[in-house]
Structure 1
Amino acid sequence: MKNLKYIFLALCCSVLTTACMNDNFDEVYGNVRGNDQIKETNVVTIEQLKAKYAQVLGQQYGYAQITDNLQLKAYVTGNDREGNFYSQIALEDGTGAMVIAIGENGLFSYLPVGTEILVNLKDLYIGNYGYQTQIGTLYTGNKNEVSVSRMSSARWEQHFTYTGKNVKVSPMVFDQSKVKDSQYLVANAGRLMTIKGVTFTDGGKKVYANKADIVNNNSCERELKGLNKSNIVVRSSTYADFAATTLPTEKVDITGIFTRYNNKWQVYIREISDVQPAK
């Protein structure tokens, strides 16, 4: 009986300990990411960073390792919340936009839109994939072209920290009259924008993405009426939560991360609510 009593007491203590840990789960384990040893020292703007590496960024797949102690302080405008803008986040700081490629899913869980972060750039790479500027590590493609692509999750953890500030994010209105303007493309690639009053060419007929229409990388491109598909498309992954949703028939306002592939705009909506009836 005495042994049973001790066993019962041990079990009670175990339950109480677990309960206490659960009560403080978020405090101890929740959302503790990044490297809190990073301190703000030598911050440059996105505009300044691109200017510093202008020669490299003038090449389709140009790249360079960042060897100086430089930092970016910027806020998140896009993440992988519904699986479309996956393994990357989009950042802005008021001077420009930048994509950071990270080999990880669930980025939205600790990098929600509006979160301001400080990124230590030293030893990372800056470069282009089809002229879309991004930060990451090097990747060699099927045709032996080297470009900047996704860094490991472990590496990313060592290169960012939170500033403690959250920003209200508002998209810029896309100027349709400049859809073919190369300077407009260079200045705004990677930015959160809204294209207003447009209609999907295949509205009511096709879904955002399916296997039958894959262009590459498990993604599909949908055209907009009156706008040449060589200039702009809405691009969606077959893995996006909204992939099987039928394209709307009415005029809509589309918000998303407006990325660049060579001389074409590729619009990545972040979640299905980014497509709204035109106002």
Structure 2
Amino acid sequence: MQILFVFLALNIGTVVARLISLIPISDFKILFMIPYVAQYSKITPYLAGVLILMLISCVQDDDYSIPRSLGIEENRRLNELLNSSASAISISQLKQLFVPGETTEIVSDLYVKGYVTSSDASGNFYKEFYLQDAHVNPTAAIKVVLNQTFSYNQFNTGREVYISLKGLYIGEVRTNDGVIAIGGISNADNEVEALTAKQIPNHIFRSATTETITPLNLPLSLITNKHIGMLITVNNVEFIPSHVGKPYVEATADFDTQRSLQSCAGFNYFYFGLETSVFADFKQHILPSGNGSITAIVSKTFNGSSLVLVLNDLNGVNLNNERCTLLNPANFSPLMSENFESSTNNANVNIAGWTNFAEAGTRVWRVITTTDSGNPGSKIASMGAFNSGQPSNIAWLISPSINLDAQGVEFLNFQSSNSFSDNSELEVLISTNWDGTTGNISSATWTALPAAIVSDSEYFQNWVDSGLVDLSVYSGIAYIAFKYIGGHNASNTIDGNYEIDNFKILVQN
């Protein structure tokens, strides 16, 4: 509790009106206003009196510790939800209810549980927080928009939170921003808006549990839309030279500033944005020059055009090592390569040792000649689901076998491009237990490789280098696979094209 005395020597009517308009009544338990008017000398004719204002309040002081126990009302409402007929739904299942360009009202009696990953304590998030489905190794996350500031005092990082979904909406805060959110209402533009102050206590319940969130370790090249809302750590990163020494936010910015991170990816750099709000309390801190790790939330730019990282605070920045150095191509020679130039144009990929297989649908990888300015006149392997007439298209293109024990360290390298990828997916995988038969592809163990793959937001004529993907942790006979996942659904949202070229397995000389 705090007792605050305010002495004001002003016109009492004006003071009272101003004070009443400024005081957030919800913050105060008791409000005493004791007016006292005294007559002053002729030297101060404009001063009419003194207002003594005593506020007995529960205003937050410098101790921002999170309450360990819940209030009686919070406990009651959470217990009522858990003991009701409402059914639990996972964050992944909830996100499947999202329809692009629309909002969906939850009419069934459902609830979802998650763990808070973001914090608005530093001002870098505003009237929102993210939930992921587990505090270790999460598989899905979602945004919650609510009309509440300083929500970290209640929904702190790691807090286990339950949301009663009936009557709420799933959608995007801004159409096509690519971030699925839980909101309280739907507006005329088919966008979700924040849960109101009255909705919050009836729908969002915290438990007494706060877990330590273990960040998901990812290279920049493997961050995708499925990681939006998750807390991740990226290693071997640094700010690009032209941004080093600048503040996180430009002094002239009205809203956000995006700075560029880079990581050494073999012969080239891989780049990714880090975005900071003008309201962040660390906005004028200077970007460090070293290399190291950054722990942050995966999010998107305001218009959804690209993925970015957003810091909870500066504790997530640990760039104290020497900057990285690119490798010299002259120090490597090819063990295996395929540029598709000897293949028949406009025909299915049919190359000795390669496997071209449709797991779902009938479409497989084809050879075409690209007119892209980034790779003009080159034959490439292409796969897309547009106009397939099939809701699911999964196509594999698998390399010949590679004996990883027959030479020194091997590296994978290739280039990729897209043609309006429309949320279809391309995965680059390795297996050391596949037997080479199509019937056993799905039963083999396939592990994702940290290759840079072209993103949805990349200009369709550009080609992205994968970087050098180190295969030294694998041994025995291995296969590299390009797995396309998409389909021609009714809304044409997962039917884009992916293209690859210049596949190489390199060894160091």
Please indicate the TM-score interval, normalised by the length of the shorter structure: 0.7 to 0.9
Corresponding residue for residue 219 of structure 1: 256
Q: Distance in 2 between matches of 1:45 and 1:63?
A: 19
Is the Cα–Cα contact under 8 Å of residues 102 and 136 in structure 1 kept in the other structure? yes
Corresponding residue for residue 415 of structure 2: none
1:131 aligns with 2:178: yes
| Number of residues of Structure 1 aligned to a counterpart in Structure 2 | 235
Q: Deviations over 1:236-272 (max 9, x none)?
A: 1111010010111111311111013435112110011
Question: Which of 303, 306, 326 is equivalent to 1:264?
Answer: 306
Corresponding residue for residue 474 of structure 2: none
Task: Note the 1:173-252 alignment, pairs <5 A.
Answer: 173-179=217-223, 184-185=224-225, 187-201=226-240, 202-214=242-254, 218-225=255-262, 226-228=269-271, 232-252=272-292
Question: Which of 92, 106, 113 is equivalent to 1:47?
Answer: 92
C-alpha deviation, 1:34, in angstroms: 4.9
Distance 1:31 1:149, change over 3 A: same
- Structure showing greater radius of gyration is 2
Amino acid corresponding to residue 114 of structure 2 in structure 1? A
1:115 aligns with 2:159: yes
Is the Cα–Cα contact under 8 Å of residues 196 and 278 in structure 1 kept in the other structure? no
Amino acid corresponding to residue 193 of structure 2 in structure 1? S
Q: Deviations over 1:144-185 (max 9, x none)?
A: 744223222321121122222221211101233335xxxx32
Q: Distance in 2 between matches of 1:146 and 1:118?
A: 25
Corresponding residue for residue 132 of structure 2: 92
After TM superposition, the structure 1 stretch with the greater mean CA deviation from structure 2, 129-138 or 254-263, is 254-263
Is the Cα–Cα contact under 8 Å of residues 208 and 243 in structure 1 kept in the other structure? yes
Distance 1:104 1:35, change over 3 A: farther
Corresponding residue for residue 203 of structure 2: 159
C-alpha deviation, 1:188, in angstroms: 1.5
C-alpha deviation, 1:90, in angstroms: 1.0
Amino acid corresponding to residue 215 of structure 2 in structure 1? P
What is the TM-score normalised by the length of structure 1? 0.75
Q: Deviations over 1:50-98 (max 9, x none)?
A: 12x14x0xx2x43211111110111111120111022111111134111
> Structure 2: any 5+ residue segments left out of the alignment?
1-56, 59-64, 263-268, 322-509
C-alpha deviation, 1:105, in angstroms: 1.1
Amino acid corresponding to residue 190 of structure 1 in structure 2? G
Distance 1:146 1:212, change over 3 A: farther
Q: Distance in 1 between matches of 2:185 and 2:168?
A: 9
What SS does the aligned partner of 1:48 have?
A: helix
What is the TM-score normalised by the length of structure 2? 0.43
* Bigger relative contact order (CA 8 A; separation at least 6): 1
Identity %: 23
Is the Cα–Cα contact under 8 Å of residues 197 and 252 in structure 1 kept in the other structure? yes
Distance 1:36 1:208, change over 3 A: farther
Is the Cα–Cα contact under 8 Å of residues 31 and 110 in structure 1 kept in the other structure? no
Q: RMSD value over aligned CA atoms?
A: 2.7
- Give 1 or 2: higher helix fraction: 1
Q: Deviations over 1:14-39 (max 9, x none)?
A: xxxxxxx99xxx9xxx9747573242
After TM superposition, the structure 1 stretch with the greater mean CA deviation from structure 2, 129-138 or 35-44, is 35-44
Distance 1:166 1:127, change over 3 A: same
Distance 1:44 1:63, change over 3 A: same
What SS does the aligned partner of 1:208 have?
A: coil
Distance 1:73 1:278, change over 3 A: farther
